[in-house]
Structure 1
Amino acid sequence: MGLLYFNFKHNAFIYILYYMTILSANCIENEDVECGVLREKFANASAQFTLCAIDKSRPITICEKCVNTYVDVLDSFQNMSKAVDNGTSCFDKFVNQDRLQIVQILYDNSVDLWTRAKCNECYDSDNMIHNLTVSNKTLQFQTYYEDFTNCTSNYVDDFCSGCMKDYVKLDNYYKTISNINEKIGVCMDIVDIMNITWNLWSNNCCKYRRHNEYIFIGSSVGVLLFTILFYFILLFCKQKTAPTIIQQSRFFESLNIFRD
């Protein structure tokens, strides 16, 4: 009876250790899966943001069209930095112990692209990336731009005279929100839209002004050449007058003889 009781206690203890080992292994496996999932989410987010940035590079609409994928990059990176795997941070496992710093480089490249495009200038964020709302100046610029594009679409050939007012309004407003002391004063989406608008207006509406300028320049050059030619003609065609020598007459010569 005592031996049977001992065997029962021994077997029960073994079963308890077995189930505890299985439970511990499952916990570790679940933590490994969690870190792997977070890493996979970050990889997908960075890939989607890169794909979106390339797709929206011409015309540049990265700040408007890629904002959600950029937020996913920040979220997945932050979640991975906070997660713990068996007492070890996932961030330490996948970032700090990686000599190539692949995760960190991908994250830095995404942030650098967003920063160089000054996309935050298009939004009112209050330093909270999840509270991004389009700024009032961006909305106002989009309104002026839509007015201009709607105007140009109503004209088949010559939209210069009919859309002059909308173009001037758009151009003046852009100058008020852009920073002339920096290479890019507003987000790159607005800068690229304005560059396209300037090129459109210059190629279609400045030809009349250039025509008048050509007439003025041609007239000025003609007057200058005529003046130079006139002075050259005076220089080479003017007759040189010889000095007049007055000779004494015989009457005065005879008077001189008597005086002698």
Structure 2
Amino acid sequence: MYLSAVCIFLLVAIPGYGNRVDKLRSISKYPDANCTDLRQKFANASARFTVCSIDHSRPITFCESCVQSYLDVVESYQNMSKFGHNNTRCIDNFVNRDRLQIVQSIYDANIDLWKRAKCNECYEDESESVVSTSNTTTQFIVYYNHFMNCINKSKIEELCLQCMGDYITLDSYYAKISNINDNIGMCMDIVDLMNNTWTYWSTQCCKYRRHNEVIFIATSIAVLILTSVFYLIVQFCEEKKAPTIMQQSRFAESFSSSSRR
């Protein structure tokens, strides 16, 4: 008890010790004003990207609507990796000294979400920056707009026949650019558009196909029944012929009599 009191007295008595402790705490919490500003920019960019992802989750327009906020996340993280103070990068202060690695975990989660949605396939990449819409995406949107224009200008009872060509073109092109072996075969925005198109087409047009199929099946069953009845009638109405009994020849009779002897 006495020793502890002496130690506390000596520490307090050392000139400037308290100020040094406060300064160390300040440096540990805020490496410098520049790094603090970069960290805040990363936090704001991550927050905007998260909000944008949720807002455009249904219908899925995530890749199209959140590309700028995604680029802001990447840029703000890269800035922390490039700049620093006293030959120390800001990322080293905020990541390598943090056991939880909060900054790194949030950044990795954002990148993983973007990659799982295959948003990069919607755009052309250049030096890890999304610069423009890819050719496949542009062509798909052209076919999709043609199909939707046909739907919008056609009457309900006529759209299946009039828009069949546009639907087949769109569906065939999607099958061409999509990888059917993946869970997400293409950029998620396009996948969701195609899923909605299939749902709409099956609801509006496949009912006519099912109606035709019912008529075909019923006709086939009727023909089968009539054929079976016809064969049954022929079987019962056909004149039965008595079996012909062949008389034995004299040679057979002599052979049988000789055998009895």
Q: Same fold (TM over 0.5)?
A: yes
| Contact 2:64–2:189 under 8 Å retained in 1 | yes
Map residues 1-260 of structure 1 onto 2, 5 A cutoff.
32-129=32-129, 131=131, 133-157=132-156, 158-221=158-221
| Contact 1:117–1:188 under 8 Å retained in 2 | yes
1:179, 1:81 → 2: CA distance?
Answer: 35
Deviation, 1:104, is 0.9
2:41, 2:92 → 1: CA distance?
Answer: 17
Change (3 A) 1:160 1:130: closer
| Contact 1:31–1:86 under 8 Å retained in 2 | no
Amino acid at match of 1:146: N
Deviation, 1:227, is 7.5
Change (3 A) 1:73 1:221: same
Deviation, 1:102, is 1.2
1:215, 1:63 → 2: CA distance?
Answer: 45
Over the aligned positions, Cα root-mean-square deviation in angstroms equals: 3.1
For residue 125 of structure 1, give the secondary structure of its aligned residue in structure 2: strand
Correspondence for 1:243: none
Change (3 A) 1:44 1:119: same
1:58, 1:73 → 2: CA distance?
Answer: 22
After superposing the two structures, state which structure 1 stretch, 153-162 or 51-60, moved more: 153-162
1:87, 1:140 → 2: CA distance?
Answer: 48
Deviation, 1:217, is 2.6
Change (3 A) 1:164 1:89: same
Deviation, 1:86, is 4.3
Change (3 A) 1:75 1:118: same
Deviation, 1:34, is 1.0
1:231, 1:97 → 2: CA distance?
Answer: 91
TM-score (norm 2): 0.71
For residue 159 of structure 2, give the secondary structure of its aligned residue in structure 1: coil
For residue 160 of structure 2, give the secondary structure of its aligned residue in structure 1: coil
Q: Please give the per-residue CA displacement for 1:16-67, whole angstroms capped at 9, x wherever unaligned.
A: xxxxxxxxxxxxxx96111111111111111111111111111111111111
1:125, 1:106 → 2: CA distance?
Answer: 23
Change (3 A) 1:204 1:146: same
1:210, 1:57 → 2: CA distance?
Answer: 33
After superposing the two structures, state which structure 1 stretch, 153-162 or 220-229, moved more: 220-229
2:229, 2:39 → 1: CA distance?
Answer: 82
4+ long deviations beyond 3 Å: 85-88, 218-234
Seq. identity, %? 58
TM-score (norm 1): 0.72
Deviation, 1:198, is 0.7
Structure 2: 5+ residue runs without aligned partners? 1-29, 235-261
Change (3 A) 1:31 1:106: closer
Deviation, 1:223, is 5.5
Deviation, 1:211, is 0.6
Amino acid at match of 1:134: T
Amino acid at match of 1:49: F
Q: How many residues end up aligned between the 2 structures?
A: 218
2:182, 2:125 → 1: CA distance?
Answer: 21
Structure 1: 5+ residue runs without aligned partners? 1-29, 235-260
Change (3 A) 1:78 1:208: same
